[in-house]
């Protein structure tokens, strides 16, 4: 009975509006020479998301605030941003998770187009450079390409990537060196390197072995901490390094 009451109280608390203070880094290339901070106060429920906080600012206070979003459910990967110093998706972090005082900035390491919107083209160019598609010249005939559950499990973790960029844009090597392909591209290389149906393993490992590839990683682990899909990013990078060293075919 007490437990049910406590549960009901906790649920009530999540529905009580609280004042949320947002400090948002703003930049409009048409009028600003450099970024500046703007502050906003909005009323929200603890169960609301940071994305809802941004929508509330945009729809009720300042319609010029720019940010990307689409699915609002952690699937499309479009709303990675730095929230209180950590890369996160705005749509899956609740006010009750991140607190009522929010400092929101664009992710680092990519050029800012406006406010929280960054130019993702360098990121997607790095993604394209690892050939993120299955390569297999054999005709599968009238059936699918079969794979055992064990072989499928080998790369399961890296199939979960939603290309949000939270990992690459939290990596100190990526910030400092625009030659580094970045952890997100390596995760997507891993996804095919360890796929038993793929026939381009040697070529993929050669790409990863270039000076833009895995050897730039200094095992900082920021990427793993930032990944909203819980992918073991640093471990995937280490697996690719080991494959280059020990089982290049």
The residues of the shown chain that bind ligand F3S, judged by CB under 6 A, are 171, 173, 183, 217-223, 233-234, 237
141 in Cβ contact with 93 (< 8 Å): no
With CB under 6 A as the contact rule, the residue among 70, 179, 199, 210 that binds ligand FES is 70
With CB under 6 A as the contact rule, the residue among 102, 112, 166, 240 that binds ligand SF4 is 166
With CB under 6 A as the contact rule, the residue among 79, 115, 157, 195 that binds ligand FES is 79
Residue whose CB is less far from ligand F3S, 57 or 81: 81
In whole angstroms, give the CA distance from residue 72 to residue 29: 27
Residue whose CB is less far from ligand SF4, 57 or 105: 105
Query: Rg (Cα) of the chain, in Å, rounded?
Result: 21
With CB under 6 A as the contact rule, the residue among 77, 106, 109, 165 that binds ligand FES is 77
20 binds, among ligand F3S, ligand SF4, ligand FES, none (CB under 5 to 8 A by kind): none
Segment near ligand FES (CB under 6 A); pick from 9-17, 74-82, 166-174, 176-184: 74-82
| Ordered DSSP codes for the chain | -HHHHHHHHHHHHHHS-EEEEEEEEE--TTT-SS-EEEEEEEEE-TTSBHHHHHHHHHHHT-TT-----SSSSSSS---EEEETTEEEETTT-BHHHH-SEEEEEPPSSS-EEETTEE--HHHHHHHHHT--S----S--TTS-----HHHHHTTTGGGG-----TTGGG-HHHHH-TT---HHHHHHHHHHHT-TT-S-HHHHHHHHHSTTSGGG-----HHHHH-TT---HHHHHHHHHHHHHH---
Sign of CA dihedral 43, 48, 51, 52: negative
231 binds, among ligand FES, ligand F3S, ligand SF4, none (CB under 5 to 8 A by kind): ligand SF4
> Per CB under 6 A, does 189 bind ligand SF4?
no
81 binds, among ligand F3S, ligand FES, ligand SF4, none (CB under 5 to 8 A by kind): none
> Per CB under 6 A, does 187 bind ligand SF4?
yes
Residue whose CB is less far from ligand SF4, 158 or 212: 158
CB of 202 to ligand FES, least distance (A): 35
> Per CB under 6 A, does 229 bind ligand SF4?
yes
> Per CB under 6 A, does 165 bind ligand FES?
no
In whole angstroms, give the CA distance from residue 124 to residue 154: 25
> Per CB under 6 A, does 226 bind ligand SF4?
yes
220 binds, among ligand F3S, ligand FES, ligand SF4, none (CB under 5 to 8 A by kind): ligand F3S
Q: What number of other Cβ atoms are within 10 A of residue 158's Cβ?
A: 25
Binding site for ligand SF4 (CB under 6 A): 77, 161-167, 184, 187, 226-227, 229, 231, 233
């Amino acid at each position: 009975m007490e437990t049910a009451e406590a549960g009901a109280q906790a649920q009530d608390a999540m529905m009580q509006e609280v004042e949320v203070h947002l400090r948002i880094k703003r930049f409009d290339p048409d009028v600003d020479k450099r970024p500046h901070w703007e502050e906003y106060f909005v009323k929200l429920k603890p169960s609301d998301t940071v994305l809802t906080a941004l929508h509330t600012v945009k729809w009720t206070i300042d319609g010029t605030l720019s940010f990307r979003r689409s699915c609002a459910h952690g699937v499309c990967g479009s709303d990675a941003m730095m929230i209180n110093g950590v890369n996160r998706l705005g749509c899956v972090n609740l006010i009750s998770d991140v607190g009522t005082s929010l400092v929101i900035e664009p992710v680092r390491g990519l050029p800012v187009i406006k406010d929280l919107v960054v130019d993702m083209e360098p990121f997607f160019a790095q993604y394209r450079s690892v050939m993120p598609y299955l390569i297999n010249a054999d005709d599968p005939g009238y059936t699918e390409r079969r794979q055992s559950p064990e072989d499928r499990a080998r790369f399961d973790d890296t199939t979960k990537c939603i290309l949000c960029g939270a990992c690459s844009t939290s990596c100190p090597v990526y910030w400092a060196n625009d030659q580094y392909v970045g952890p997100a591209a390596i995760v997507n290389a891993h996804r095919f390197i360890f796929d038993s149906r793929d026939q381009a393993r040697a070529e993929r490992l050669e790409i990863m072995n270039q000076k833009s590839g895995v050897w730039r990683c200094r095992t900082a682990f920021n990427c793993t901490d930032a990944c909203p899909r819980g992918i073991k990013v640093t471990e995937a990078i280490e697996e690719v390094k080991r494959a280059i060293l020990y089982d290049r075919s």
